Amino acid sequence: MSHSQNPHEVLKHVFGYDEFRDQQLDIISDLIDGRDAMVLMPTGGGKSLCYQIPSLIRPGTGVVISPLIALMQDQVNTLIEQGVNAAFLNSSLTRVEQRDIELQFLQGNLDILYVAPERLMTDSTLALFRQSQIALFAIDEAHCVSQWGHDFRADYLRLAILAEEFPQVPRIALTATADRRTRNEISERLTLQQAQHYITSFDRPNIRYQIREKENSKNRLLQFIQKDHEGDAGIVYCLSRNKVNELAQWLKEKGIDALPYHAGLTQGVRASNQSRFLKEDSVVIVATIAFGMGIDKPDVRFVAHMDLPKSMEAYYQETGRAGRDGEPADAWMVYGLQDVIQLRKMMEGSAANETFKRVEQQKLETFLGFCEATTCRRQIILRYFEEKAEPCGNCDNCQSPPITWDATEAARKALSCVYRTGQRFGVSHVVDVLMGKATDKVTQHGHHAVSTFGIGQNLDQNVWRSLFRQLVAMGYLKIDFDRFGVLVLDEKSRAVLKGDESLHLRFEEKKKAGRKQQGNFKQRKEAIYEGEDEKLWQALRRLRKNLSDENNVPPYTIFHDATLMEMVELKPVKLDEFSDLHGVGDKKLDSYGDQFIELIYSHVVGE
């Protein structure tokens, strides 16, 4: 195409934009002047223009190496519509088509040529390059060159040859995810040590990060969509194809316009589902991670994870598909012990070499730490990419700070119970022993006679489960997969058992199934008197009485019995949950919320 030599003009006339973002212009100028560049920019940041514009301005063809073969067609189509002579070379072409493109390339008729990495390194392609004029080499998804990165591709290693063979052609490497180690590896392997490194902040301030406990997760997802994202486009990630199919179907029955996407569907179905998602504005795609690479849909309003991704990079990249237009968007995830077990198992079973496995494991640990964190999510994400940040005010931990508790004593009980029962059982059984439940299995193994039997009755069974999850996530306990997932003490647990280490953990409150209470008032009251909650009920009544005496008003003007009953049933320990109770308005929340919550909290953690 004919074009002016000025980047601004090209930006305006070819792409239709008025201003460059952040560092785009600096990067473009470097390349135009023949210098190399390395670019780290979050997804949606605008990496493509950084090489497309110099490709148009410099003489010759810009060669873009990209592993995303499935997207080349799209990218090329978009460019052609903008009047750019673009083409691609990959395995999807017929011989004739390929010959035709090579010819155009040799004749200097192409502005931009996308090439798959495996294609690039064949002798014939290299010969082709030597005979053509090349404006620049752009290496997209450059983290694929790094073994430390999460997406290693052996073909990328051979890209080192470009620096040797074409020293006069400027090269630009681009990636959306790279911690310092990955970055160093990219720079070394692609001989970019001399290049200017452009690092854009990884913060995506419009994305709100939320992690929920994985319990009743289908319904939680449905509520989240109905409440916050009615009629929005979104992506829901699941680990398995079966789960994708099942969940998409279920959501559809619930009135959500949901479609499945995974590698097991026919090409036709996948293409049609993807195209509906792209073209319409309220389709929810339920997918395995096969979906989304390079999807450039600006108005995806939420990304939900029903299963845990295996690293921070993966999480960041997947959630990064939300809100590319800069408008508010949600990254929502559920997380539970099963995830930890499943991912650990997958890694142990993988055929990868030891170094690689160790790296993967380390990344998983880091990510689990993120899930369990009680501080600002964004800070942790950004710290991972070596950026500093203040608490963001736009994540679950900022908006509703989790309650932490001194779990040292409980952790010691849990760990010693694992020890006393011989490190031969899973979580459920150990919790039964702690709770003093003489199940058949417990008596059969004589565990009703061990010293830890019943020492955990002060805590709710769900508090124990959450505690075990955190102990596993933090590496105090290991799961032995060769023995059906039994709990085993890690060396690390010794300090806790000896009393040398104290533990402050996230307190996971327990919701009873929904807000609908079972039975009428009388039945509910009876249930309270029969169960373990009577103490709490009485304590709440005493508190109400004290407050009513203090304020010289009748007790019911503080809270009705029905409200106290809900407190017992739902055990709210955060202000926002408390304000959801019937009969709790702003005024009462303000006047009494803290005191009641404190009481409920101390009851639940067994103080």
Q: Is 45 in the site for ligand ADP (CB under 6 A)?
A: yes
User: In 3D, which of 602, 491, 605 has the Cα closest to residue 543?
Assistant: 602
Q: Which does 44 bind (CB under 5 to 8 A by kind): Zn ion, ligand ADP, none?
A: ligand ADP
Residue 49 vs 259, nearer CB to ligand ADP: 49
Q: Does 44 bind ligand ADP (CB under 6 A)?
A: yes
Identify what 392 binds: Zn ion, ligand ADP, none; CB under 5 to 8 Å per kind.
Zn ion
From candidates 40, 47, 334, 563, binder to ligand ADP by CB under 6 A: 47
* Of positions 7, 20, 172, 376, contacts ligand ADP by CB under 6 A: 20
**How many whole angstroms separate alpha carbon 444 and alpha carbon 447?**
8
Please tell me whether residue 233 binds Zn ion under the rule CB under 5 A: no
Query: What tokens does 320 get?
Result: 């990064």
Angle between helices 354-372 and 337-349 (to 10 degrees): 170
Beta pairing, strands 404-406 & 504-506: antiparallel
Q: Distance between CA atoms of 211 and 397, rounded to whole angstroms?
A: 9
Minimal distance, residue 531 CB to ligand ADP, in Å: 54
Of 19 and 354, the one with the shorter C-beta distance to ligand ADP is 19
CB nearer to ligand ADP: pick between 64 and 433: 64
Q: For residue 86, state whether it binds ligand ADP (rule: CB under 6 A).
A: no
The site partner of 398 among ligand ADP, Zn ion, none (C-beta below 5 to 8 Å per kind) is Zn ion
Q: Which stretch binds ligand ADP (CB under 6 A): 40-48, 98-106, 159-167, 281-289?
A: 40-48
The answer to the question of residue 378 lying near Zn ion (CB under 5 A) is: yes
In the bound state, the residue with its beta carbon closest to ligand ADP is: 46
Looking at 172, 207, 392, 479, which residue binds Zn ion (CB under 5 A)? 392
By DSSP bridging, strand 37-40 and strand 171-175 are parallel
C-alpha dihedral, 12 to 13 to 16 to 18, nearest 10°:
10
Among 125, 154, 138, which Cα is nearest to 36's?
138
- Entry field: residues in the chain: 607
- Segment contacting ligand ADP by CB under 6 A, of 47-55, 60-68, 395-403, 492-500: 47-55
Query: Which CB sits closer to Zn ion, 50 or 207?
Result: 207
Question: 378 contacts which partner out of ligand ADP, Zn ion, none, CB within 5 to 8 A by kind?
Answer: Zn ion
How many residues touch ligand ADP (CB under 6 A)?
Answer: 14
376 binds Zn ion (CB under 5 A): yes
Report the C-alpha gap between 547 and 595 in whole angstroms: 10
Determine the interface stretch with ligand ADP among 37-45, 81-89, 278-286, 584-592 (rule: CB under 6 A): 37-45
- Nearer Cβ to Zn ion (173/381): 381
Q: Closer CB to Zn ion, residue 401 or residue 485?
A: 401
Q: Which residue has the tokens 């090209």?
A: 10
* C-alpha span between 89 and 125 (Å, rounded): 10
* Contacting residue, 144, 286, 398, 410, with Zn ion by CB under 5 A: 398
Point out which residues pair with 479 in neighbouring strands: 487
* Pair 258, 286: CB distance under 8 Å: yes
CA distances 108 to 59, 294, 546, Å, are 9, 28, 88
- Residue 339, CA distances (Å) to 14, 448, 465, 467 in order: 47, 30, 14, 15
User: How far is 593 from 257, CA to CA, in rounded Å?
Assistant: 40
Decide if residue 23 touches ligand ADP (CB under 6 A).
Answer: no
Check residue 41 for interaction with ligand ADP (CB under 6 A): yes
Give the N- to C-terminal CA distance of the chain in Å, as an integer: 75
DSSP letter for 310, please: S
- Which residue reads 């929340």 in tokens? 589
Per CB under 6 A, the segment of 45-53, 206-214, 382-390, 546-554 that binds ligand ADP is 45-53
Is the Cβ of residue 71 or residue 527 nearer to ligand ADP in the bound state? 71
Interacting residue ranges for Zn ion, rule: CB under 5 A: 376, 378, 392, 395, 398
Interacting residue ranges for ligand ADP, rule: CB under 6 A: 17, 19-21, 24, 41, 43-49, 296
